[in-house]
Structure 1
């Protein structure tokens, strides 16, 4: 800085922003948590880990319900080229060096569902879920209305441990097993679909 520049009065020139990762589309949703496993995260016990399942074929996105009734099949039916993972980390039968399976965790927002989501996120963060690219987590409302404070606080903690999170409100027609219609779905559902489409490109 020159001698005539007072750093307490004059602002230094702003540094140029670093170049954006060319592999990430401009319209892709921003990440709000870690994008890869972190060292030092303990692996959950055997009983708390999700199973692994060999799958055939490919998918742009695998929806992995971390517990029964999470909604993985419903969401997979909404997103083009998506498949349900059957409540297990998908092991895609592809040659070494190919892209990992791109996974979105799915959980309901009741206490049991959130605990299952936390365990799955911890398992991924520990680095034990090899061959997996975790895209994020979808939290599907387990009841109409706002979350009670304890569940809201728990969800906030879990959101900080995954790359990104989408929240889906209570949808009565899903409960009644009516045909799923993207155009009649809430904005949050359509936004999630658009985000995943952007990420897949």
Structure 2
């Protein structure tokens, strides 16, 4: 039996890639008319979280509700006011922002990472007004999740708690009876004005 010699294919030429200029630092990225974020909000030395939400240029809204994960309640909260919009799990480049998450371990961790992304200065130039935490089950948060919940709340300037509501699982979108969240809606509206 004779051995065959297999010749390797010649290497493909790599496409010419032009040298790209370095990315500008954070202040140079801002448009001249963009609102300046409160310097206390961005904190030097905060690392990027392991999972980050996208940052997109979105139209103007009275409030952008940013869901930290799927099923966080962003659509339901956005439906409480006709001027509020669901950001579809991404940060808007500008505008007032309310991050929302559920009280499950996954939800609280996603909420923590979204807040960490904002505080690290990696979430556009919007103004964070707070965190909405939506209960994922009736009753108190389990003691195993209490510490993670406190950590997540501590990163936000304000927290708005939404109670568990079984009817949200049964109703079509948008919810027909929004009066049950009138206290939370008023609180969020007061945060936007502050």
TM-score band (shorter)? 0.7 to 0.9
Q: Note the residue ranges of structure 1 that are not aligned, 5 or more in a row.
A: 1-33, 92-99
Whether 1:37 aligns to 2:42 is yes
Runs of 4 or more, structure 1, over 3 Å off, are none
Q: Verify the 8 A CA contact 1:37 1:125 in the aligned structure 2.
A: yes
Q: Name the Cα RMSD after superposition.
A: 1.7
The structure showing larger relative contact order (alpha-carbon pairs under 8 Å, at least 6 residues apart) is: 1
- Equivalent-residue separation in structure 1 for 2:142 and 2:63 (angstroms): 31
Equivalent residue in structure 1 for 2:63, among 49, 61, 80? 61
Q: 2:92 aligns with which of 72, 90, 93?
A: 90
1:52-100, Cα deviation, whole Å (9 max, x unpaired): 22323x1111101110111101110012410000000113xxxxxxxx3
How many residues are matched?
Answer: 153
> With structure 2 as the length reference, what TM-score do the two structures score?
0.73
SS of equivalent to 2:79: helix
The CA deviation string for residues 7-44 of structure 1, in whole angstroms up to 9 with x for no partner, is xxxxxxxxxxxxxxxxxxxxxxxxxxx96121221112
1:101-138 deviations in Å (ceiling 9; x for gaps): 11100101100111101111111111122212111111
Which residue number corresponds to residue 180 of structure 1? 176
Task: Could you tell me which runs of 5 or more consecutive residues in structure 2 were left unpaired when the two chains were aligned.
Answer: 1-38
Residues of 2 paired with 1:167 and 1:126: CA distance?
24
TM-score (norm 1): 0.71
8 Å CA contact 2:67–2:74 kept in 1: the answer is yes
Partner of 2:133: 139
Equivalence for 1:79? 81
Separation of aligned partners in 2, 1:200 and 1:111: 28
1:120-166 CA deviation, whole Å, 9 max, x = no partner?
A: 11111111222121111111011112111121221111111111111
